[in-house]
Amino acid sequence: MMGRQDRDQRQLFYEFSLDEVIPAGHLLRRINVFATAVLADLHEQLKAFYSDLGRPSVDPELMIRMLLVGYCYGIRHERRLCQEVALHLAYRWFCKLDLDDKVPHHSTFSVNRLGRFRRARSCAIFSSAWLHSAWQRALSKARGSRWMRA
């Protein structure tokens, strides 16, 4: 006999935490350690490029985190990146977006990439700090390994 779902109404409230859903060994969990350390003072570095007037802008940390997701998973187009971040829970977790938070419009990336971020050189600052911290961490792990002691 074919089974049928008996409920017609969905549950009204869910208790849900993105942090509990993302596996401990997930790539974005490992990258998050570096990203959090490197992006800690990003707002101070970019403060001069944002106005106090007008509507609030999209958080530059969110944009860089989304670009990191795109880089790690081969998502080359900004429109597709916004769709994927809206869809995947791990991407939302890494970008610090809750389930009901809106993903920025894809045109926000091109406007900032061609204007504000080019002048701020934030990508260069970010990549050099990222590589330096990753290199230091790799060296500290390697010093404890067997092949470095020999």
Q: How far apart are CA 76 and CA 74, in angstroms?
A: 6
Structure tokens at 41: 């003072």
Taking the whole predicted model, whether its pTM rises above 0.75 is answered as no
- How confident is the model over 74-93, as a mean pLDDT? 94
Joined together, the tokens standing for residue 9 give 């109404």
pLDDT computed for residue 103 by the predictor = 94
Q: Of 41 and 19, which is predicted with more confidence? A: 19
DSSP 62-110: HHHHHHHHHHHTT---HHHHHHHHHH-HHHHHHTT--TTSPPPPHHHHH
Average pLDDT over residues 57-80: 89
- What the block records as the tokens of 131 is 């590589």
- Among 9, 112, 17, smallest CA distance to 57 is for 112
- How many C-beta atoms surround the C-beta of residue 95 within 10 A? 23
- Name, in order, each residue with C-beta under 8 angstroms of 2's C-beta and a sequence gap of 6 or more: none
Please write the tens of the pLDDT for every residue from 88-135: 999 999 999 998 899 999 988 888 777 666 655 555 555 556 556 655
- How many angstroms separate the CA atoms of 67 and 61, rounded? 10
pLDDT in tens, 39-53: 887 777 777 777 788
Amino acid sitting at position 24:
A
